[in-house]
Structure 1
Amino acid sequence: MKIFPSSSIKKLDAYTIEHEPIASIDLMERAAKALTKAITDRWKPETPITVFAGPGNNGGDALAVARMLAERSYKVEVYLFNTKGELSPDCQTNKELVEIMEEVTFHEISTKFVPPALTPQHLVIDGLFGSGLNKPLSGGFAAVVKYINSASAMVVAIDTPSGLMGEENTFNIKSNIIRADFTFSLQLPKLAFLFVENAEFVGEWDLLDIELNEQGIEETETNYEMLEIEDIRELMKPRSQFAHKGNFGHALLIAGSKGMAGASILAARACLRSGAGLLTVHAPLCNNDILQTAVPEAMVETDANEMYFAVPTDTDDYQAVGIGPGLGKNEETEAALLEQLEHCQTPVVLDADALNMLANHRHALTHLPKGSILTPHPKELERLTGKCQDSYERLTKACELARTAKVHIILKGAYSTIITPEGKCYFNPTGNPGMATGGSGDVLTGVVLALLAQGYSAEDAAKIGTYVHGLAGDFAQKKRGMISLIASDIITCLPIAWRTVSE
């Protein structure tokens, strides 16, 4: 599913109007019908509704929704803000339709605004401004937003909360943005919905299909997409009836240190549950017996050092290498990591302590093997790129790092993002807050390592691995609940996740 910048959304509307063909007022009517259904599905006619409409097409949508709700016996009060005496043509048309309805209490605000009483029983429909906004709200509109936010009523935003810009909000004024409980986005999501700092404004969001032209969506380029299960299924490679373990790669996992054997076990189990033909774990001698017992399917190659990774190993016989889980940050480990990467020609998955140590040697990032993948969480990324003010800046810096280092990045979190060296960003919809637990990232490393070892490209391994990891977490959440979920539960649910995307 594509995610378009605000500048492209108007073009898609125009494309639909031209190629369907359909009049713009009829496209607005189509959107209003979808919005009205979404509202009537959730709130009964006894719910008093107050509509705040702006002078543009977002306001036109709101006026059309007000009319349709009134026709369904809802008690509707409308405030249309027309401070400049200029409405968009479609907004003007819907104004004329609404103001003649006896069922609607209609107010057109040109100067003074007397706020209505908004109780906890009220539903507010926010149609002040849409996704085309390109500067913070100010003056009277900011005051209206603050009044709505101070009320105890439930708030539904049409397309996007008024005041929230579609992409970057770094320099926006947070107090001047509607805090919606629900946002009904028309056709496609907005990039801003996927950033943690905007959750307080967007609330729960849902997509409403208004039948924008599919060919127009297909032909319009964007760097942002949301992964869907169909995308993942298309990437999966079938297994031959005559396949053997040698067909599915030999993975090397360099992980663990004294007291951190668990991280290597989680990554190893996840790797084996994700289809790698063979797995060797390079670990300090102190973890040998633990690994041999906990993961009997894996081979163990012991480091010369008893407590931590200190001596690089030959990677020529492996199809992929994973480095980082539970590695520790000992000085000898840091030196061994740099030497390991300097001579490695095999694609590498780097996570956890490997990334933290590389933050002290950023020059090494530009010499990573072709097809390598970094899997940082936000703090690990900032150690590599510098401090970020918000998610948009973090995404921008991650894109720049992927470009300069020629690596793929999995930026972990809600809507984990797969970033390619070419600047394409794929957002992952699977996963849940229960996965915010120690070891979850180690499991992801193992999954992605297995896919690289099987011959998947870095981009495909990152997409599939992230999606399946989150899907397994969703199955685990259903089984265990969010609070009780631990990383081992994710591994336990990998088989059903793989079956789901494979069948």
Structure 2
Amino acid sequence: MERAAKALTRAITETWSERTPVVVFAGPGNNGGDALAVARMLAEQNYQVSVYLFNIHNHLSEECEANRRRVAESKRIKAFTEISLNFDPPKLDADTLVVDGLFGSGLNKPLAGGFASLVKYVNQSPAKVVAIDIPSGLMTEDNTYNIHSNIIRADLTLTLQQKKLAMLMADNQQYIGQLKVLDIRLSPEYINATEAQYRILEESDLRPMLLPRSPFAHKGTMGHALIIAGSYGMAGAAILATRACLRTGAGKVTVHTPKRNYEIMQLSAPEAVLQMDHEETYFSEAVDAEDFDAIGIGPGLGRQENTAIALIAQIRRAQCPVVLDADALNILANHRAWLQQLPTGIVMTPHPKEFDRLAGAASSGCYERLIKAREMAEHLHAYIILKGHCSALCLPDGHIVFNPTGNAGMATAGSGDVLTGIITALLARGYKQPEACMLGMYLHGSAGDIAAQTTGQESLIASDIIDHLPQAFKRLND
């Protein structure tokens, strides 16, 4: 706890000066113990600290009790109040810093009574709020039935060692504010021994996955990818997926697209082989798939009925891994019985609205959608990437892997088409589905991060992600 408190204190002092009056609200558990230790350390650095410890049932955790004694004995603490019954909260001004240590990751029910009233009081005040580990009232995983008005809205959350699942859900951003993950040097053995259904990717996970590139390699040994994309007016989606596929190292890329796209495809992706559909403006015919090592279908495909029939025929005909995105998923949403015909190991890359069309609306938010995706991946033996902030890969065994790379600048048209091309190329090169999905979403986000350093997030476009894939590969290989 001392190690955690030192890291927490350091993070606070890096942002707020000793002239900032500090009010610490500490609960009866270990989160409160952390808050008390932080209060003591801030006071030792000449901060004016007022501490309020809630000991309603006269039962503190062992760590909290130990830190209570040290705070009570401290001559540096401005004021220490232990509350067992009634409580009149202090005035919280705009220059006040509130340290929220009421409840941490052990919370399993919504706040009520006096604690709920205190949370509302803090949220209505102009004070800045730092939450220790997780904002009080926010549960670490499922907040479907939480009372959202009874959750602290922090300006800064200092979480310990790793992000909690709730912090990866977009609808909880309003409570978390800025998020910092503090390394408190827990042993790798302890972390690895902790059972979890989800994890966050790290570069150290990915480097061993990278396949060596033989000095004797030629285009025939580096995989042949097929991209089926681009209806009339949506040739750009086909171009982006194709260029991303090429940039990710596929030895050969063939694009099947309507006749009307011939000239723009030839000019935009001269390295690709063009295979024209017999229709002028839409995909209408499944192609012979024997020669391909992976197929990516969907970007800008359109949703005509003939396209839908060709899509399911193509999926049935495939003899290699398949990636479904965009309109391929929208077609399946209109023909849900076809989901049972998908081959084992298929990859799907929906954004939230595409997934909701496929599986039904997630009325209660991100967590419900994530659980639905996990269940669908298990049922179909599929690999489902829910795209967004910290994209989530749901594996057939029920585990979920989150991607830490990427930024808000990538919320732009065509970004998903790029991901389709990347994953299709990796599959064509011989990566298995889990490795291709993990590497694909990580490289996609990393390229976006590198691009944003030059363009800024506001001006980032999908082509920038493709242009920075070489640096993303290089960073991962270094």
TM-score of the superposed pair, with normalisation by structure 1: 0.93
Q: Measure, in 2, the Cα distance between the counterparts of 1:483 and 1:186.
A: 31
Match of 1:152 among 123, 126, 143: 126
Residue 400 of structure 2: aligned partner: 425
CA deviations over 1:85-139 (Å, ceiling 9, x no partner): 2222221221122123232211111222111111121111000011100000000
Match of 1:322 among 282, 286, 296: 296
Which AA in structure 2 matches 1:339?
A
Q: Measure, in 1, the Cα distance between the counterparts of 2:70 and 2:180.
A: 28
Residue 13 of structure 1: aligned partner: none
Q: Measure, in 2, the Cα distance between the counterparts of 1:306 and 1:276.
A: 28
Once the 2 structures are TM-superposed, how far is the Cα of residue 374 of structure 1 from its aligned partner? Answer: 0.2
Residue 30 of structure 1: aligned partner: 3
Once the 2 structures are TM-superposed, how far is the Cα of residue 275 of structure 1 from its aligned partner? Answer: 0.3
Which AA in structure 1 matches 2:226?
L
The answer to whether the 8 A contact 2:344-2:380 is kept is no
Query: 1:467 and 2:473 equivalent?
Result: no
Q: Measure, in 1, the Cα distance between the counterparts of 2:327 and 2:183.
A: 44
Q: Measure, in 2, the Cα distance between the counterparts of 1:306 and 1:346.
A: 27
CA deviations over 1:337-356 (Å, ceiling 9, x no partner): 11111222221110000000
The answer to whether the 8 A contact 1:398-1:419 is kept is yes
The answer to whether the 8 A contact 1:366-1:406 is kept is no
Q: Measure, in 1, the Cα distance between the counterparts of 2:427 and 2:266.
A: 24
Query: 1:264 and 2:201 equivalent?
Result: no
Which AA in structure 1 matches 2:158?
F
Q: How does 1:163-174 map to 2 (within 5 A)?
A: 163-174=137-148
Match of 2:33 among 54, 60, 81: 60
Match of 1:115 among 89, 107, 130: 89
Match of 1:398 among 373, 394, 404: 373
Residue 181 of structure 2: aligned partner: 207
Residue 483 of structure 1: aligned partner: 458
Q: Measure, in 2, the Cα distance between the counterparts of 1:328 and 1:240.
A: 39
Q: Measure, in 2, the Cα distance between the counterparts of 1:291 and 1:441.
A: 19
The answer to whether the 8 A contact 2:21-2:48 is kept is yes
Which AA in structure 2 matches 1:437?
T
CA deviations over 1:156-198 (Å, ceiling 9, x no partner): 1111110010100000001100111111112222110000011
The answer to whether the 8 A contact 2:408-2:457 is kept is yes
Residue 106 of structure 1: aligned partner: 80
Stretches (4+) displaced over 4 A:
none
SS of 2:450's partner is: helix
Size of the aligned set, in residue pairs, is 476
Which AA in structure 2 matches 1:331?
E
Match of 1:81 among 46, 51, 54: 54
Residue 359 of structure 1: aligned partner: 333
Once the 2 structures are TM-superposed, how far is the Cα of residue 365 of structure 1 from its aligned partner? Answer: 2.1
Once the 2 structures are TM-superposed, how far is the Cα of residue 499 of structure 1 from its aligned partner? Answer: 1.3
Residue 273 of structure 2: aligned partner: 299
Residue 15 of structure 1: aligned partner: none
Once the 2 structures are TM-superposed, how far is the Cα of residue 361 of structure 1 from its aligned partner? Answer: 1.8
Which AA in structure 2 matches 1:502?
N
Once the 2 structures are TM-superposed, how far is the Cα of residue 41 of structure 1 from its aligned partner? Answer: 2.0
Q: Measure, in 1, the Cα distance between the counterparts of 2:285 and 2:188.
A: 55
Once the 2 structures are TM-superposed, how far is the Cα of residue 292 of structure 1 from its aligned partner? Answer: 0.9
Residue 377 of structure 1: aligned partner: 351
SS of 2:221's partner is: helix
Q: Measure, in 2, the Cα distance between the counterparts of 1:290 and 1:174.
A: 50
Match of 2:324 among 344, 350, 356: 350
Which AA in structure 2 matches 1:41?
E
Q: Measure, in 2, the Cα distance between the counterparts of 1:283 and 1:266.
A: 13
Match of 2:162 among 185, 188, 203: 188
Q: Measure, in 1, the Cα distance between the counterparts of 2:318 and 2:213.
A: 29
Once the 2 structures are TM-superposed, how far is the Cα of residue 209 of structure 1 from its aligned partner? Answer: 2.4
Once the 2 structures are TM-superposed, how far is the Cα of residue 369 of structure 1 from its aligned partner? Answer: 3.0
Q: Measure, in 1, the Cα distance between the counterparts of 2:270 and 2:193.
A: 51
Which AA in structure 2 matches 1:89?
E
Which AA in structure 1 matches 2:449?
D
The answer to whether the 8 A contact 2:329-2:354 is kept is yes
Residue 306 of structure 2: aligned partner: 332
Residue 285 of structure 1: aligned partner: 259
Stretch of structure 1 that moved more, 278-287 or 89-98: 89-98
Which AA in structure 1 matches 2:127?
A
SS of 1:98's partner is: helix
CA deviations over 1:396-441 (Å, ceiling 9, x no partner): 1001111111110111000001111011111001111111111110
The answer to whether the 8 A contact 1:345-1:369 is kept is no
SS of 1:248's partner is: coil
Stretch of structure 1 that moved more, 365-374 or 354-363: 365-374
Q: Measure, in 1, the Cα distance between the counterparts of 2:17 and 2:297.
A: 55
Which AA in structure 1 matches 2:440?
G
Q: Measure, in 2, the Cα distance between the counterparts of 1:231 and 1:90.
A: 34
Residue 225 of structure 1: aligned partner: 199
Q: Measure, in 1, the Cα distance between the counterparts of 2:93 and 2:208.
A: 50
Q: Measure, in 1, the Cα distance between the counterparts of 2:313 and 2:431.
A: 26
Once the 2 structures are TM-superposed, how far is the Cα of residue 207 of structure 1 from its aligned partner? Answer: 1.9
Which AA in structure 2 matches 1:76?
V
SS of 1:474's partner is: helix
Residue 447 of structure 1: aligned partner: 422
Once the 2 structures are TM-superposed, how far is the Cα of residue 481 of structure 1 from its aligned partner? Answer: 1.0
Once the 2 structures are TM-superposed, how far is the Cα of residue 212 of structure 1 from its aligned partner? Answer: 2.7
Q: Measure, in 1, the Cα distance between the counterparts of 2:253 and 2:304.
A: 25
Q: Measure, in 2, the Cα distance between the counterparts of 1:101 and 1:401.
A: 56
Structure 1 gap ranges (5+) = 1-27
SS of 2:393's partner is: strand
Q: Measure, in 2, the Cα distance between the counterparts of 1:155 and 1:405.
A: 44
Cα RMSD of the aligned pairs, angstroms, is 1.1
Q: Measure, in 2, the Cα distance between the counterparts of 1:91 and 1:206.
A: 23
Which AA in structure 2 matches 1:319?
D
Q: Measure, in 2, the Cα distance between the counterparts of 1:464 and 1:211.
A: 27
